[in-house]
Amino acid sequence: MLSVEEALQKILAEVNVLEAETVPIMEALGQVLAEDIISDINVPPLDNSAMDGFAVQSKDTRGASEKSPITLKVTDTVLAGGTPKKEIVTGTAIRIMTGAPIPSGADSIVQFEDTDDQKNKDASSNQRAGQVSIFAETRPGRNVRRTGESIAKDKTTLKRGTVIRPAEIGLMASIGKSRVKVIRRPVVAILSTGDELIEVEKPLPDGKIHDSNAYSIAGLVKRYGCIPKMLGIARDSEKELVKKLKQAQDADMLLTTGGVSMGDYDLVKDIIARDGEMVFWKVRVKPGKPLAFGKIKGRDKNGRAKNIPHLGLPGNATSCMVSFELFVRPTLLKMMGKQNLAKPSIDVIIENTIINDAGRRIYDRAIIEKRNGHYYARLTGPQGSGILSSMSLANGLVVIPEETEKVNKGDTVQALMLDWNEEVNI
Ligand code: AMP
Ligand code: MG
């Protein structure tokens, strides 16, 4: 049976980065830049004040202190978005607000807190007299934001391959770029299989269950920035399955759940093998052993034949989610042009004893908390592969290697963090 790594390598080998598309920057969150972005402006566009205060010549403040303030003549006020009309000459100051351009002649800003403005009882009389008292020395460049210090003109601001996060959207906005070229989001067709399944909005007849997999899987598809295409439920009949699978023809990936285990009506894997190409079936992992991976025939938007990767996820509610995290997620990230495919993982001290008599790699659901500088993991409770609440309680998956027969309480193991932010641009 394939290991998790071998299975993943086989899947990744079958997919490529998708094409680029141009979208409004607000829609690009989580997508990967398909162009270098070079700014044609400086941000900020000119030297400006980092503080509300007074623009001065720093040499005029030499020796100033609370005890022996230095008084300067206030000649003007300049607001953010305004233009200074006066120059600073020795002995003068200009009242200035954060973001306002530095008047020529000034080399420093004294913040209000270091003056009698809004502070000293005499301020009002001083202000009436057009004066300010300075209580502290300043130095050249203090509280001055330099032209282009955030983004320099003609320099590469963002490199192709960067993952777009809120900061990158802000950077693009600040240089006036409203649309951006990014790798497009994969469209993922999702099909549930099973005679026992009923749509979520329909009443539940005896013995039937609602189709939950389509929803948890669609949630994961969306979480990782892709577009779910809901194909609904196919009964366990060959005819219906083949018909439904046709609807996945224009998708970038097909995910089915159920129908891949050993039962009489587990038809999905047989149909992949017959109509498409089966690459592997079964992985040495728990939960999620009966994972099938193959390719089905589809068409791109120009009508050209293409192979669509098809992951036949196990039907059990937890198994299909864990399989998604292990195999589908990295595959989608590769298609989206991302480089970092690994789930964030940390060392945790386990608070349960876990027996591995399956000889497979176990991914148990756990609640992971930091206490006294260490991460601790405790299992969510019963780990049956159909117990979806175990997934709902968990924020991580503890990993028990296939060859480890027993993990004792207090041992350190690896855990995959399910909800950690995963994007870092270096
Ligand atoms: P299967 O692999 O088709 O035998 O399914 C394994 C188990 O998962 C069975 O107990 C199914 O009832 C359950 N199951 C399959 N598909 C779904 C689904 N879409 N939603 C919830 N449970 C499912
Ligand atoms: Mg089934």
pLDDT in tens, 88-112: 999 999 999 999 999 999 999 999 9
pLDDT in tens, 283-315: 999 999 999 999 999 988 889 999 999 999 999
Residue 360 clears pLDDT 90, i.e. is over it? yes
Write the class of the CATH domain 4-19+184-335.
alpha beta
Two structure tokens written together for 46: 């000119």
Candidates 3.40.630.30, 2.170.190.11, 2.130.10.10, 2.160.10.10; CATH matching 48-145: 2.170.190.11
With tokens 């089905």, the residue in question is 296
Write the class of the CATH domain 345-417.
mainly beta
pLDDT in tens, 145-177: 999 999 999 999 999 999 999 999 999 999 999
Q: Is the CB of 315 under 6 A from ligand 1?
A: yes
Query: Of the candidates 264, 271, 263, 361, which has an alpha carbon nearest to the alpha carbon of residue 310?
Result: 271
Q: Is the CB of 219 under 6 A from ligand 1?
A: no
Residue 426 clears pLDDT 80, i.e. is over it? no
Query: What pLDDT, on a 0 to 100 scale, did the predictor assign at position 207?
Result: 96
Query: What pLDDT, on a 0 to 100 scale, did the predictor assign at position 129?
Result: 75
Residue 423's pLDDT band, with cuts at 50, 70 and 90, is: low
Q: Is the CB of 317 under 6 A from ligand 1?
A: yes
Q: Which residues pair with 295 in a beta bridge?
A: 277, 309
Q: How far is CA 31 from CA 159, 219, 337, in A?
A: 13, 17, 8
Q: What letter does residue 358 receive in the DSSP assignment?
A: S
Query: Of the candidates 205, 336, 315, which has an alpha carbon nearest to the alpha carbon of residue 268?
Result: 315
Query: What pLDDT, on a 0 to 100 scale, did the predictor assign at position 262?
Result: 86
Residue 408 clears pLDDT 70, i.e. is over it? yes
Give residue 194 CA to ligand 2 midpoint distance, Å.
Answer: 4
Q: Is the CB of 49 under 6 A from ligand 1?
A: no
Which residues, in sequence order, are CB contacts of 303 under 8 Å at separation 6+?
none
Q: How far apart are CA 380 and CA 366, in angstroms?
A: 5
Question: Which residue's C-alpha comes closest to atom 6 of ligand 1?
Answer: 315
Give residue 266 CA to ligand 2 midpoint distance, Å.
Answer: 6
Residue 150 three-state SS = coil
Q: Which residues pair with 72 in a beta bridge?
A: 132
Residue 120 clears pLDDT 60, i.e. is over it? no
Q: How far apart are CA 39 and CA 305, in angstroms?
A: 40
Q: How far is CA 240 from CA 176, 177, 209, 258, in A?
A: 51, 48, 19, 14
Q: Is the CB of 197 under 6 A from ligand 1?
A: yes
Q: How far apart are CA 60 and CA 112, in angstroms?
A: 16
Question: 23-43+151-183 maps to which CATH number?
Answer: 3.90.105.10
Query: Of the candidates 15, 20, 1, 107, which has an alpha carbon nearest to the alpha carbon of residue 59?
Result: 107
Q: Is the CB of 287 under 6 A from ligand 1?
A: no
Residue type, 181: K
Kindly give the interhelix angle for 268-275 and 238-246, rounded to the nearest 10 degrees.
60
Query: What pLDDT, on a 0 to 100 scale, did the predictor assign at position 266?
Result: 85
Q: How far apart are CA 116 and CA 128, in angstroms?
A: 13
Query: Of the candidates 331, 308, 313, 334, which has an alpha carbon nearest to the alpha carbon of residue 252?
Result: 308
Residue type, 351: E
Q: Is the CB of 261 under 6 A from ligand 1?
A: yes
- Least confident range from 118-127, 215-224, 246-255, 356-365: namely 118-127
Query: What pLDDT, on a 0 to 100 scale, did the predictor assign at position 121?
Result: 53
Q: Is the CB of 263 under 6 A from ligand 1?
A: yes
pLDDT in tens, 11-31: 999 999 999 999 999 999 999
pLDDT in tens, 227-265: 999 999 999 999 999 999 999 999 999 999 999 988 877
Q: How far apart are CA 194 and CA 312, in angstroms?
A: 13
Residue 198 CB neighbour total at 10 angstroms: 15
Query: What pLDDT, on a 0 to 100 scale, did the predictor assign at position 125?
Result: 64
The whole-number average pLDDT for the span 63-86 is 97
Query: What pLDDT, on a 0 to 100 scale, did the predictor assign at position 128?
Result: 67
Give residue 72 CA to ligand 2 midpoint distance, Å.
Answer: 84
Q: Is the CB of 298 under 6 A from ligand 1?
A: no
Residue type, 331: T
State the chain's mean pLDDT as an integer. Answer: 95
Yes or no: say if 20 and 36 are a contact pair by the CB < 8 Å rule: no
Query: What pLDDT, on a 0 to 100 scale, did the predictor assign at position 180?
Result: 98
Question: Which residue's C-alpha comes closest to atom 10 of ligand 1?
Answer: 316
Residue 123 clears pLDDT 80, i.e. is over it? no
State which of 196, 230, 264, 316 you would mutate to test the pocket of ligand 1, scoring each by most atoms of that ligand within 8 A of its C-beta. Answer: 316
The structural domains of the chain, with segments of one domain joined by +, span 4-19+184-335, 23-43+151-183, 48-145, 345-417
Query: What pLDDT, on a 0 to 100 scale, did the predictor assign at position 272?
Result: 87
